[in-house]
Amino acid sequence: MIKKFIDNLIAGATGRKPRFGKRKEVGPQEHAIDPTLVDERALSVVHTLKEAGHEAYIVGGAVRDLLLGLRPKDFDVATNATPEQVKSLFRRAFIIGRRFRIVHVVFGRGREHEVIEVSTFRAYLDAASAEAVSGNERTSKSELAGMHHAVDASGRVLRDNVWGPQEEDAARRDFTINAMYYDPETRIVVDYHGGITDAKKRLLRMIGDPATRYREDPVRVIRAVRFAAKLAGLGFKFDPKTKSPLLHALPLLQEVPQSRLFDEMLKLLQTGHSLATIEQLKALGMARGIYPLLDLVVERAEQPFVRAALQDTDRRVNEGKPVAPSFLLACVLWSDVREGWQDRTARRLHPFPALQESIDEVFDARIGDISGRGKLGADMREIWMMQPRFEKRSGQTPFTLVEQPRFRAAFDFMRLRADIGEVDVMLADWWQEFSQASDLVREDLVAALRDEQRKQQQPRVRRVKPQASAEGEAPAPERRAAEGEAAEGEGATGDAPRKRRRRRRKPAGQGGGEHAPHAPSAGESAE
């Protein structure tokens, strides 16, 4: 019913019907997906939705990865159930988003929790169809109220919460390889736009007219770069028609909210292919112009410290370990912070206030209000402020520092600094051993370090070569020793001599004076 309604409106406004593709169902013999690669929680979500009478499929990049024989890292589910209906079926489910309302179904707790993202089939509406829908006299107020979809005059999609049939949901997706639907129970893949063929050909192709699709949502420019970098290792290449409008569409990103661009930049750098992404941006002539902070990352990617941070981030993602954007951005901006810090300390400012002022200056200049004053900014600040504290390893400082929530990130940061020679490797090794040791071993490490520092601080005694007197007497040290023995002999008949005070020796040849060695007389001993 909805499909007919929208088709009639579009046909009346434009004289044509949109191409939603032809539905093709592909069985397991042809697609050869290994069912053991499907996450059990995604399978549970699909089963629950279908049992409640709804359609439900695994969708998007997960289907692409399954077709390539890879185990997907994330599973998304698409359904004809509304967000409210989805939420009602699961004990821990949360509706999120405004522009694109979806449901997060949560399994497990703490760091081990898993999120299955569930979206409702969206209707396909471009600028012409949206105008036809809103301007049609027969469209009721309730129907308009239900259409939270908005397209501006340039064709850019502002909201995307108009529910529709599956074929339209497939048409409004960006790339053919991301527009397939897999039912894990029947093991059928539903394909409308030749995604299976493109996956076999290793081809990244936009659905519909690429220039129009970039205009509808300019962020697709960034997504195209991200997918190209991610799939380059698997042999994927751009379809020429998809690639050619990319550079011309770059100015459209100026209309996108800065907060959304910031999030998309983080996705580029945290998919496990940050270095490949930077190379892709350079190859496409897009090294500048997406987002100022991303421009800086590309510019500094060849610096040893930044490159080491990018490599470390890629490694952690590919090992399935968590990554924090605060760590990578702290590495990218460290040279700015360090230079400001050194400049202030050179002007005799106390090190810690100098570091704080430098951090504030960098936040204002490089990040602004997008995320610099939120949790991400607070984590970056802690990482930086802990760096000088690693130098102090006495008293209770090591014990309190190692208990800080951001210690591990700050230590990893310092370890990278040691890897490039910015700090002593022995300092990083000591902290690594300390952080992994028991309380007793930690106390021993601090005590051993204290003893070593004391030895290094003790002044060295300069040995003076003995000199003989002009009259042939014994050298001064031997003469003083002999006099001391004689004095001891004189006092041996009396009471035990008093404890001699240690006095500073004067240089050889300078006898007398109040600091000269003094042997007690017999009378003094008798007293």
Residues 87 and 191 in one domain: yes
- Domain assignment present for 319: no
**Mean predicted confidence (pLDDT) in 107-113:** 78
Q: Is residue 16 part of a domain?
A: yes
Q: For residue 72, name the pLDDT band (cuts at 50, 70, 90).
A: very high
> What's residue 19's pLDDT?
63
Q: In terms of domains, do 196 and 229 share one? A: no
| Residue 198 annotated to the active site | no
pLDDT over threshold 90, residue 362: yes
Domain match, 41 and 138 both: yes
- Whether 390 is covered by a domain: the verdict is yes
- The verdict on 384 and 406 lying in the same domain is yes
Q: Is 74 a catalytic residue?
A: yes
Q: 460 pLDDT band (50/70/90 cuts)?
A: low
Question: Encoding tokens for residue 252?
Answer: 């459209």
97 domain-assigned: yes
Question: Which CATH number fits the domain that encloses residue 295?
Answer: 1.10.3090.10
Instruction: Look at residues 201, 225, 246 and tell me which one is the last residue of a structural domain.
Output: 201
Which pLDDT score, from 0 to 100, does residue 459 have?
67
Q: Are residues 188 and 51 both part of a single domain?
A: yes
Residue pLDDT, tens place only, 252-288: 999 999 888 999 999 999 989 999 999 999 999 999 9
- Whether residue 225 sits in one domain with residue 196: no
Do 190 and 216 fall within a single domain? no
Q: How many CB atoms lie within 10 A of CB 253?
A: 19
Catalytic residue among 7, 74, 263, 336: 74
Dist. CA 144–CA 412, nearest whole Å: 53
Q: Say if 309 falls within a structural domain.
A: no
Task: Tell whether 375 is covered by a domain.
Answer: yes
Please indicate, yes or no, if residue 497 is contained in any of the structural domains.
no
Q: 492: pLDDT confidence band, cut at 50, 70 and 90?
A: very low
Supply angle C-alpha 63, 66, 72, rounded to 5: 85
Per-residue pLDDT band for 465 (boundaries 50, 70, 90) equals low
Do residue 186 and residue 212 come from a single domain?
no
Domain count within the chain: 3
How much helix, strand and coil, in percent to the nearest 5, is found in the chain?
55, 10, 35
Please say which residue of 273, 304, 335 terminates a domain.
Answer: 304
| H or E segment to which residue 58 belongs | strand 56-59
What does the pLDDT average to over 354-379?
Answer: 83
Q: Is residue 223 in some structural domain?
A: yes
The CATH number of residue 80's host domain is 3.30.460.10
- Told to judge if 76 belongs to the known catalytic residues of this protein, a careful annotator would answer yes
Type of residue found at 332: V
Statement: residue 311 has pLDDT above 70:
yes
For residue 291, give its domain range.
Answer: 208-304
Asked if 75 and 108 sit in the same domain, the reply is: yes
pLDDT at 461: 58
pLDDT at 510: 44
Judge if 114 and 82 occupy the same domain.
Answer: yes
Cα separation values, 508 from 355, 471, 483, Å: 52, 16, 15
Same domain membership, residue 272 and residue 162 = no
Q: Which of 363, 305, 57 is nearest to 181 (CA)?
A: 57
pLDDT higher than 90, residue 429: yes
- Indicate the residue among 399, 424, 456 that finishes a domain: 456
- Quickly state the pLDDT bin for 390 (edges 50, 70, 90): very high
pLDDT at 462: 62
**Which listed residue (76, 126, 217, 314) is catalytic?**
76
**What's the confidence (pLDDT) of residue 491?**
43
pLDDT at 473: 52
Active-site choice (126, 160, 169, 174): 174
Q: 425: Cβ–Cβ under 8 A, 6 or more apart, which residues?
A: 418, 419
Global model pTM greater than 0.75: no
Q: Both 27 and 134 in a single domain?
A: yes
